[in-house]
Amino acid sequence: MRHTKTIAFIAFPLWACLAIFAQNIKIVRPKEIDDVLVNPGIGFTTFQRFNGDTLNEGQRWTEGYPIAYQPFKGTHKNISYPDTSLAYFRISWRFLEPQPGNYRWDLIDRALRTARERGQTLMLRIAPYGMEADDDAPDWYHALVGDKTARPSNPKWRTNPEDPHYVEHFGQLIREAGLRYDGVPDLQSVDVAIVGAWGEGDGSQRLSPKTRQALLDAYLSSFQKTPLVMMLSDSQTNGYGLSKRDVGWRVDCFGDMGAANANWSHMLDYYPEAIISFGMENAWKKAPVALESCFVMQHWKDSGWDLDYIIDQSLKWHISSFNAKSSPVPLAWQPQVNRWLKKMGYRFVMRKFTYPDLVQSGGKLDFTSWWENKGVAPCYQRFALALRLKSRANNQVFLTDAEIRNWLPGDNLYANSLFVPTTLPAGKYELSLAIIDPSSKTPKIKLAIAGAAPDGWYPMGTVNIAPPRRGTRLSFLFLAMGIFWGIAKVSYFTFTRID
C-alpha cells in the first residue's frame, strides 16, 4: 500500500511540469449538410416587395414605380417563393427628382429600412425612364431639352442622351445618390443604368465615347464601396467599366428560350456569346452576376422551356442572385429550384480543422482549416472568419485576416495563429468559429455543416488554457527541478522498500 501511494503522489508533479509543454493536435471533420441556406448576397430576390409580402398574381409584375408597401404580416416566410436575403428595388428618374435638384431620397430610405426589418439588403437600380407616359423621363427635363420623342432609330430611347443636359442632370442624380448611399451596409449593390427603357442599356453601343464615359463615371466615381453591376450591353460600355474597377454584370431577360422568335433567343444566341465578346467572362471572380427572369417562371413553364438547361447555364455563368419578379415559383419545379439554390453564389463546407488541445496563456493557438466552396461564386462582402474562446465566465472573439472574398469555387486553405492574451484566465474553453460581421461580431454566413449553435457559432471542441509562462529560463529550471525531484523520490522509496 505504501509503495502504491508513493508512486501516485510522485507522478503528479512530474505530469504537471511536462503538461505545460505537451500539446496534442485535435482534428475536426465536420459533417456536411444538404440544406438550402439563406445567406447574404445570394439566392432569389424579392422585387418591389419584401420577405413575407403577398406575391404578384398570375404572370404580372411591377417595376420602376414607387413601392406599394404591404402591411407586415408578422413573418418573413414567403409562400410559393424561396426565402431570401435580397430585395430588389427599381425606381425611375421622374419619381426621384420630380423637380430639378429636388430629390425624393425618402423613397430609397424607406426601402432600405424595410429591407433591414425583413432580414434583407437592397439591390437598387435608378432607371432613366420606362416606356409609359407615367414613368417617362421627368416632365421638367423634357421641357428643358424640348424633345418629347426618342431618336427614330431607337424606340427604347425616350430622350436623346447626347444632349449635354442628359449627362448633366441624370449624371448629377447618380452622383448625389452616391454621396448619400455609397457604403451604406443595407445597400447590397447598385445597377449601372445609363440609357434605354428600364435602364437596360439598349442602344448604349451607339453613344459617343464622351457621353458614354461621362455617364459611366457618374457611377464609377460615386460608388467606390458599394458593388456595381453593369448591364451586359456592348464591348465599349462593359470594357470601359472593367478598365476602371471590378464590376459585375446582369441581364433582364434571363431564361428566354424563344419568346419573340423561334429561331433566336437570349439563352441560345445572345448571352453565351456576349459574355465573352464583351469581356465579362471573368468578372464574376471579383463582382456579382445578377440575373432577372424574362417574364416570370410560370411563363417559362407554360412555354415549355427547359428549366434544367436554364439553371445549368446560369451556374456556368457563376450566378449569385436571381430576380424572379416576386411571382410564384411553379410547385412542380420546387425540387429543381432547390438544387439551384444549393449552388447559386457561395456555399462553404469546412472539411477539416486542426488545433492544439492545450495552449499557454500569453502563447499561440495554431490552427489550420480546409474549406470547400461548393457554390459557383465567391462571397463579395467583407465578412471576417473569426474564432471564439468561451467559458462560463469569459467570452473572447478573435478576428482573423482570412480574405473570404478570394475563396473561389473548389478547395481553399487557411492557417494562422491566435495570440491568447495573458488576461484570459486559465481553464477549459469551448472553441468555436463563424464568419461574422466585423463591426457587430455576430455570425452572418450559414455554413453547410452540422452543429450550428443557436447563436450561429460552430463549436469545434474544447481547449485548455494553461497559466501564463513566467519566463523561459525559469520554466525550464522548474521543469528540470521537477524531473530531478521526481526521479530522486522514486529511487528513494523504491530503495526503502527493498530494504
Helix (H) or strand (E) run with residue 235 in it: helix 235-244
Handedness of CA 256, 260, 261, 266 (dihedral sign): negative
Residue 5 has pLDDT above 70, yes or no: no
- C-alpha distances in Å from residue 232, one per residue of 252, 270, 283, 346, 421: 9, 10, 11, 22, 51
Each residue of 426-468: pLDDT tens digit?
999 999 999 999 999 999 999 999 999 999 999 999 999 999 8
What confidence tier does 142 reach under pLDDT thresholds 50, 70, 90? very high
**Percent residues over pLDDT 90 in the chain:** 85
- Residue ranges of the domains in the chain? 2-14+471-498, 21-34+348-466, 43-341
- Spatial separation of the C-alpha atoms in residues 192 and 202, rounded to whole Å: 13
Residue 3 has pLDDT above 50, yes or no: no
**Percent of the chain that is helix, strand, coil (3-state, to 5):** 35, 25, 45
Residue 124 has pLDDT above 70, yes or no: yes
Residue 26 has pLDDT above 50, yes or no: yes
**DSSP code of residue 268:** I
Residues whose CB falls within 8 Å of the CB of residue 498, separated by 6 or more in sequence, listed in order: none
Q: What is the pLDDT of residue 470?
A: 63
Average pLDDT over residues 37-44: 98
Q: And the C-alpha cell for 307?
A: 428549366
The owner of cell 449538410 is 33
- C-alpha distances in Å from residue 107, one per residue of 69, 113, 114, 137: 11, 10, 11, 17
Q: What is the pLDDT of residue 189?
A: 98
Each residue of 395-425: pLDDT tens digit?
999 999 999 999 999 999 999 999 999 999 9
Domains 21-34+348-466 and 43-341 share a fold: no
Q: Is CATH 2.60.40.770 what the domain over 21-34+348-466 is classified as, yes or no?
A: yes
First to last CA, the chain: 16
Each residue of 336-357: pLDDT tens digit?
999 999 999 999 999 999 999 9
Q: Is CATH 1.10.10 what the domain over 43-341 is classified as, yes or no?
A: no
* Other beta carbons within 10 Å of 202: 17
- Spatial separation of the C-alpha atoms in residues 208 and 241, rounded to whole Å: 15
Task: Provide φ and ψ at 395, rounded to 5°.
Answer: -150, 115
- C-alpha distances in Å from residue 17, one per residue of 14, 482, 484, 487: 5, 7, 11, 13
Strand order in 25-28's β-sheet?
25-28, 348-356, 364-373, 410-419
What pTM does this model have?
0.90
Residue 181 has pLDDT above 80, yes or no: yes
Q: What is the pLDDT of residue 270?
A: 97
- Which residue type sits at 39? N
Each residue of 353-370: pLDDT tens digit?
999 999 999 999 999 999
